[in-house]
């Protein structure tokens, strides 16, 4: 099966049943209508010259149009290339250029950044806007004008379906190549683990440019014949009302959202009925035990923590769907794929020993795009190496203990310090810099940079932060800057971030 046949078969089976509801305006799409809209989008892309294997960059918020183009591209064997909507011009340019995309689908509000780099994208032969006619007719107008059938294309399950960029320790993002089979098998793992049925209705509050939003709350319900309530973005004030109005059964979140909801009003005080909510799935960052327990105690809704990466098409482990069998503080047991703990020589370690979490299975990515060295390292010993340090207990439950590299996870967003450091080094007043994650009550971690100024230079914290904000997505920018006389280094001159973390009480 591939994504095209999945959509076709579900339309044949569920027809006039509602598949997608857009929470912002209440627009609803049946399985038949969704099949038609994705086929029309596929036809538009084909008319723009997009063929099998071509990349289609998508810079859009959570809207039905995102899904029409995203899955429409896959229907003709093209490769969807979603872009983080928080990125700035140069970051956007790198992703589009590196992926070798031939077309960009976006909306007017992103053109302020996109306009800065369009001339630097020679492969992009067309730009379509969903809400503006600056480049001719809008996507919607084009979709209305074409036949509601996708061009015939032979698609193999092993063909690439998406390239999604994840930050790398070198500071440059890496393109993760996921296949049609990756998507479908991971959706199967998730659906079977939780026993989802066609009666289940999920809500999507995470961005669709993240694999979590794409797989757990879109491909997964499509696989089991359920329904989806799509939110343009997470809103604490609209979360529980949407659960009540649309009788939502499940939602996938990151720990930060649980913290925000726990700090807010109880839905009962607002006259809302949330009894339809069966459980919440949480991942993308470690879930603090106190946040986990606090949410469940306040709302009476069970939370199942899991673990996965873009490279494993989202989830690789979950706690059991039984509140008495789960282990709070654990990321659960392997689901569908295999997991193990390895030492530095690719030896599998016994329970209780600390090592790197490694994964093997049909949901693991095809590889990194144009990164042979990274692929060789990532798949050493025949397993995918996660870079996360953990352990497994005697019952097969896994625990994350540390990160092999220095990634910061802020509210579910992965941030790599070296990217920030390299930018800071470009500042004429900065001689040296090192960035770490520091504890944050709401986001789990926040970004703090330590800076050494050049001789005779002066600068303020606000000046350095503003410099970063002009060049980096806001979530990556340091929220604190400390001016120091030197950065701690090891005997080889390597920055000792651990020493800075220990100094900040974040070991």
Q: What is the CA radius of gyration of the chain?
A: 23
Confidence of residue 170 (pLDDT cuts 50, 70, 90): very low
Q: Which of 2, 133, 112 is nearest to 59 (CA)?
A: 112
Q: Which of 479, 471, 430, 478 is nearest to 454 (CA)?
A: 430
Given a contact cutoff of 8 angstroms between Cβ atoms, the answer to whether 293 and 255 are in contact is: no
SS3 180: helix
How do the domains of the chain map onto residue ranges? 408-503
SS3 202: strand
**Could you tell me if residue 40 is left (phi over 0), alpha (psi between -120 and 50 degrees) or otherwise beta?**
alpha
For tokens 């949410």, name the residue. 295
Q: Residue 385 and residue 383: Cα distance in Å, rounded? A: 6
User: 408-503: what fold?
Assistant: GMP Synthetase; Chain A, domain 3 (3.30.300)
Q: Could you read off the pLDDT of 217-274 as tens digits, one per residue?
A: 999 999 999 999 999 999 999 999 999 999 999 999 998 899 899 989 999 999 999 9
Q: How far is CA 264 from CA 241, 260, 297, 381, in A?
A: 13, 6, 14, 47
Confidence of residue 425 (pLDDT cuts 50, 70, 90): confident
Q: Tell the burial category of 99 from Cβ atoms under 10 Å away from its Cβ (0-12, 13-18, 19+).
A: buried
Least confident of 76-90, 121-135, 447-461: 121-135
Q: Which of 404, 377, 372 is nearest to 388 (CA)?
A: 404
Helix 180-194 / helix 3-14 crossing angle, nearest 10 deg: 50
Confidence of residue 496 (pLDDT cuts 50, 70, 90): confident
pTM of model > 0.85: yes
């Amino acid at each position: 099966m591939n994504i095209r046949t999945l959509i076709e078969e579900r339309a044949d089976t569920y027809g006039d049943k509602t598949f997608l509801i857009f929470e912002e305006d209440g627009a609803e799409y049946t399985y038949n209508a969704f099949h038609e809209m994705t086929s029309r989008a596929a036809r538009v892309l084909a008319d723009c010259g997009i063929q099998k294997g071509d990349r289609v960059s998508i810079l859009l918020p959570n809207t039905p149009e995102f899904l029409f183009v995203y899955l429409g591209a896959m229907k003709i064997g093209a490769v969807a290339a979603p872009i983080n909507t928080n990125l700035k011009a140069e970051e956007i340019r790198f992703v589009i250029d590196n992926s070798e995309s031939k077309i960009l689908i976006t909306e007017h509000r992103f053109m302020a950044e996109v306009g800065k780099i369009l001339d630097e994208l020679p492969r992009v032969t067309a730009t379509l806007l969903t809400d503006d006619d600056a480049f001719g007719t809008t996507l919607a107008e084009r979709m209305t004008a074409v036949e509601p059938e996708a061009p015939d294309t032979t698609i193999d399950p092993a063909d690439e379906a998406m390239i999604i960029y994840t930050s790398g320790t070198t500071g440059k993002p890496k393109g993760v190549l996921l296949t049609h089979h990756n998507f479908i098998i991971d959706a199967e793992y998730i659906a079977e683990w939780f026993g989802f049925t066609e009666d289940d209705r999920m809500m999507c509050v995470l961005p669709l440019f993240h694999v979590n939003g794409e797989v757990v709350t879109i491909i997964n319900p499509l696989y089991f014949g359920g329904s989806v309530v799509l939110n343009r973005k997470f809103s604490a004030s609209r979360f529980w009302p949407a659960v009540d109005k649309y009788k939502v059964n499940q939602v996938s979140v990151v720990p930060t959202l649980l913290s925000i909801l726990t700090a807010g009003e109880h839905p009962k005080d607002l006259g809302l009925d949330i009894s339809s909510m069966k459980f919440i799935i949480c991942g993308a960052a470690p879930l603090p035990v106190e946040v986990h327990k606090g949410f469940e105690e306040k709302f009476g809704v069970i939370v199942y923590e899991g673990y996965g990466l873009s490279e494993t098409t989202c989830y690789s482990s979950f706690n059991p769907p039984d509140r008495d069998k789960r282990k709070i503080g654990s990321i659960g047991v392997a689901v569908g794929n295999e997991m193990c703990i390895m030492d530095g020589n690719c030896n599998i370690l016994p329970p209780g020993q600390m090592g790197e979490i490694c994964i093997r299975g049909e949901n693991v990515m095809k590889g990194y795009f144009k990164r042979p060295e990274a692929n060789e390292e990532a798949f050493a010993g025949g397993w995918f190496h996660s870079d996360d340090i953990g352990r497994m207990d005697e019952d097969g439950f896994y625990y994350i203990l540390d990160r092999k590299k220095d990634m910061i996870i802020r509210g579910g967003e992965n941030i790599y310090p070296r990217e920030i450091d390299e930018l800071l080094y470009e500042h004429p007043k900065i001689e040296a810099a090192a960035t770490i994650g520091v504890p944050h009550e709401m986001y789990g971690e926040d970004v703090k940079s330590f800076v050494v100024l050049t001789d005779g230079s002066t600068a303020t914290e606000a000046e350095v932060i503003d410099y970063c904000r002009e060049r980096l997505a806001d979530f990556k920018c340091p929220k604190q800057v400390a001016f120091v006389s030197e950065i701690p280094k090891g005997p080889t001159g390597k920055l000792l971030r651990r020493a800075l973390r220990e100094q900040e009480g974040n070991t």
